[in-house]
Amino acid sequence: MSRLNQKIKRQEQTIIRLREQLQTIKFNFRQTDTTLMPSQIDVGVQCNSMENIINDLHCQVDDLHCQLDENNNKLKTSNIDDSNTEKVLNFRVKQKGNPYDGKLRKLYYVFLSRNIGLEHINPLIKGVLQLIYYNIEDLPSIATASKMSHEIGSICRQQLSAELSNAENLTMHREATTKKGRHFYGIEFSTSSGNTLTAGLREIVNGKAETYVKHTNEISEDICSYSNILMNPKKFMTGRSATEKNPNKLLSLDLPDKICNQFKCSVHPLLQFSDLCQR
């Protein structure tokens, strides 16, 4: 296409140059006598020949312009065809077992971390890719996606282990709640740098102090199994419920210092008031 444009420009420059020469010859011809001399006859013949050359060049330029338009139309048509043609994506790695590559796994991690159901991930990915004419058939099954959710747990535990291994002045947050007859218990850790990390969330059978302590130790040991650190919180942050006092005492017995500051969250009364206001 660029060569064709350059050829057209050269032809147009040639036409301009010949036109200038023709004007010069015609001007000189007018200055001579009206009596036709042999030299003047030659000049007239030369002018006619130049006019013929210019006309031929004009025809060539027109042909080149037509060819350029045809090429542009073909190029536009090919671009439209390419955009409407579905491209097939493959996220398999050529290794033993043909596992899925890291990009697809990270995409599933993002969906799972945002509580997207396993059965909804594949239709979402296919629907988005179809908007840009990409097709993918070989996506992880629900069982494989479930394994990826366990991978997220392993990655999170490794992150916690790396973050807490050098952390000092830890604060342990604990909270339990009952939803639709099921009792849940969660733990978080706050570091001196201001980071708050979720250590674990489990469903437990009851709200006894021994049960809280048992699951607290299990969650801590699950994190500590990735390194040799010991969970030594300096402070406890819990609700104002009386059932939180005994777990704090029992957990303090296992700490090296035997002394741990205890803070009570004052947000719970506000939450209770908000529930009443919404009724």
* 93 in a structural domain: yes
Cα–Cα distance measured from residue 121 to residue 145, given in angstroms and rounded to the nearest whole number: 9
pLDDT given at position 76: 67
Residue 237 lies in a domain: yes
Mean pLDDT of the chain: 77
Domain span at residue 21 reads 2-65
Average pLDDT over residues 3-19: 72
Reply yes or no on whether the pLDDT at 102 is more than 80: yes
**Contact predicate 190/199, CB 8 Å:** no
Residues 255, 189 within the same domain: yes
Asked whether residue 138 carries a pLDDT value surpassing 70, the answer given is: yes
Confidence of residue 177 (pLDDT cuts 50, 70, 90): confident
Is residue 273's pLDDT more than 70? no
Last residue of a domain, one of 31, 65, 99: 65
The answer to which of 32-46, 72-86, 153-167 has the lowest mean pLDDT is 32-46
**Residue 84 in this model has a pLDDT that exceeds 80:** no
Q: Select from 146, 162, 267 the least CA-distant residue to 223.
A: 162
Q: Is residue 236 part of a domain?
A: yes
Together in a domain, 257 and 177: yes
Residues 114-132 have a mean pLDDT of 88
Q: Is residue 48 part of a domain?
A: yes
Same-domain status, 173 and 264: yes
Residues 61 and 96 in one domain: no
Question: Is there a single domain that holds both residue 128 and residue 60?
Answer: no
> Are 245 and 179 part of one and the same domain?
yes
Q: What is the pLDDT of residue 83?
A: 54
Total structural domains within the chain = 3
**pLDDT tens digits for 29-78?**
666 544 444 454 455 556 667 677 777 777 777 777 777 777 777 666 66
Per-residue confidence band for 240, with pLDDT thresholds at 50, 70 and 90: confident
Residue of 62 and 180 predicted with greater confidence: 180
Q: What is the DSSP string of 6-36?
A: HHHHHHHHHHHHHHHHHHHHHHHHHHS-SS-
How far is CA 101 from each of CA 95, 105, 152, 197, 242, rounded to the nearest angstrom? 10, 7, 15, 28, 50
Is residue 188 located within the same domain as residue 250?
yes
> Mind listing the pLDDT tens digit for each residue in 248-270?
888 877 776 656 778 887 766 66
Residues 199 and 120 in one domain: no
Q: Are residues 45 and 96 in the same domain?
A: no
pTM over 0.75: no
- Between CA 118 and CA 116 the distance in angstroms is 6
182 and 263 together in one domain: yes
Q: Examine residue 71 and state whether it is found in any structural domain, yes or no.
A: no
Q: Report the share of the chain in percent with pLDDT over 90.
A: 2
Asked if the structure places residue 215 within a domain, the reply is yes
Kindly state whether residue 198 falls inside one of the protein's structural domains: yes
Q: Determine, yes or no, domain membership for 151.
A: no
Q: Residue 209's domain is classified under what CATH number?
A: 3.30.420.10
